[in-house]
Structure 1
């Protein structure tokens, strides 16, 4: 069971929005917060990522070079500029050619060129998965000097398709942007020390917790108990519960309920299934019990959640 893929698929609520941005110094972009996670890929040239002036955070400006990838966990507002001293403005809407999945934005003067791919992944922020919450606010990954070869390859392919679009580019580019999110998270997880004692970076490779997580994700409808999950882990109930809670951040059965509700929300958004069928697939013996649990988790009954998702 590929837990990372499952987690991301459960949180996705739409296709990524992406814009090819071409800047000539001096240039500066003031980017507002988005409902999801933001990303930037530097395809050519250099620039700076800066916090908004009115932020309470003390994060320092980040210098970006060709091949660098930025992932903004909660899509917070920020600035991009050729230099930290350049005045940044809110850009005009990007231009989208008919049928194209990528918008285009050109700005600045007549100085040094910077080319970026900027965008956002639409993620369900109502009940974010703990994995997302344990990421830093800003993930900065450098792909130079042989680091993260798969991410490097994805960035190079994106750059080539955007620089010289050909037959099939309209299908290839969105697929690469989708894959980019997995590559970013994989690279970040791989960068975490093997001696980590807490967090998902450790949980996904822990010999006691990982088998139980895989079992929950593979079959959320099963009547799992702490004892049966501990059996999967090959350890005692107390040892398993303590280890799971330490790494995942909540007890095993609380996580099981979270995953069932996350799975149910995804089915309501994407599948044409009856509420009874969704209740069965998420481990509830009746539609009433499922509806009660879903409303407690999401603040809406399942039918209302589905109508709201279809309207947006």
Structure 2
């Protein structure tokens, strides 16, 4: 597993919120769902994304945008059109006065809008659950990522458009996987752009020494790595690996490994019911005591406190509103 594959494994869709928007101008939708990541593709017409405090971005057919939450933004036919509806946590939709719009704007299976034959069409996929593994990826993305249709080629958008309004058995799983593939394609295309500020760990993958070390750490996080053993597997001296890794990645190998192990552990704590002892050994610690000490040192809370803080968010997978989580618990 390379570093990008490991980080993309974090924001894997599990019951993502997906819909087709069909709109007739003038229209404007305010999005305040606090979702960690949303993907938008224009299939016809056009749409503007207006981030709070940022410059409006025009999307045309074939364009794709990634909006990194939880910051709110507006999607509209024109930046000057005032919002007429508000999307809240869990995909709830209301007027600005609080009146529900789910039924009045429903146009069919996963289709929503103000006109069945509206000239503007968008596909929207929203990842509702945060992932500690995915946070490194999310932090590497700009608040609003825009890929013009003439700068990349991806056959997955038509697939998503074809599947999004079907109501076949297992359709939610099909849509989740197509959304994930579209996200992977978009992130790879973005990082491959000459003007993209790709993160250090991404650029380092092309190095024959550091790239090998990164793949080893991601493939075998529970291995009792030392800089010496990692250097031996990479085929260089300990000093050479330490120097080159820090130079290209921006931190020493063991610091990177600690962050990766604790990110994996955070996902396991939040998404499963394994004991702290079992998770500790699964990510490379000798026991619960050493793991708990490292976890609290980095995140400010114990593993049990972290798990308890996220317990109230689990129903969000099924569409309910998220519960608040202390900011100290979420800090990297």
Q: TM-score, normalised by structure 2?
A: 0.77
Q: Distance in 2 between matches of 1:179 and 1:71?
A: 14
Give the CA RMSD over aligned residues.
3.0
User: Counterpart in 2 of 1:155?
Assistant: 157
CA deviations 1:20-67 (Å, max 9, x no partner) are: 222101111122261412221112211111223xx2xxx432211112
Q: Which residue of the other structure, out of 117, 121, 129, is the alignment partner of 1:115?
A: 121
| Alpha-carbon offset, residue 192 of structure 1 | 4.3
Check 1:239–1:219 CA distance in 2 against 1; reply closer, same or farther (3 A cut): same
CA deviations 1:233-258 (Å, max 9, x no partner) are: 33333332233223323221111111
User: Counterpart in 1 of 2:213?
Assistant: 212
User: Counterpart in 2 of 1:133?
Assistant: 139
User: Counterpart in 2 of 1:62?
Assistant: 57
User: Counterpart in 2 of 1:99?
Assistant: none
Asked if residue 81 in structure 1 is aligned to residue 76 in structure 2, the reply is: yes
User: Counterpart in 2 of 1:48?
Assistant: 48
Q: Distance in 2 between matches of 1:104 and 1:47?
A: 17
Check 1:62–1:249 CA distance in 2 against 1; reply closer, same or farther (3 A cut): same
| Alpha-carbon offset, residue 299 of structure 1 | 2.8
SS in 2 for 1:167: coil
Asked if the contact 2:9–2:134 (Cα under 8 Å) also holds between the matched residues in 1, the reply is: no
Q: Distance in 2 between matches of 1:206 and 1:137?
A: 28
Asked if the contact 2:65–2:144 (Cα under 8 Å) also holds between the matched residues in 1, the reply is: yes
Q: Distance in 2 between matches of 1:89 and 1:175?
A: 32
| Alpha-carbon offset, residue 166 of structure 1 | 5.8
Check 1:142–1:256 CA distance in 2 against 1; reply closer, same or farther (3 A cut): same
Asked if residue 255 in structure 1 is aligned to residue 261 in structure 2, the reply is: no
Uncovered stretches (5+) of structure 1, i.e. residues with no partner:
97-101
Q: Which residue of the other structure, out of 110, 113, 122, is the alignment partner of 1:106?
A: 113
Asked if the contact 2:20–2:123 (Cα under 8 Å) also holds between the matched residues in 1, the reply is: yes
| Alpha-carbon offset, residue 283 of structure 1 | 1.6
Asked if the contact 1:10–1:262 (Cα under 8 Å) also holds between the matched residues in 2, the reply is: no
Check 1:197–1:294 CA distance in 2 against 1; reply closer, same or farther (3 A cut): closer
| Alpha-carbon offset, residue 165 of structure 1 | 2.4
Q: TM-score, normalised by structure 1?
A: 0.82
Q: Distance in 1 between matches of 2:273 and 2:131?
A: 23
CA deviations 1:265-286 (Å, max 9, x no partner) are: 1222334422222111122112
User: Counterpart in 2 of 1:266?
Assistant: 267
How many corresponding residue pairs? 295
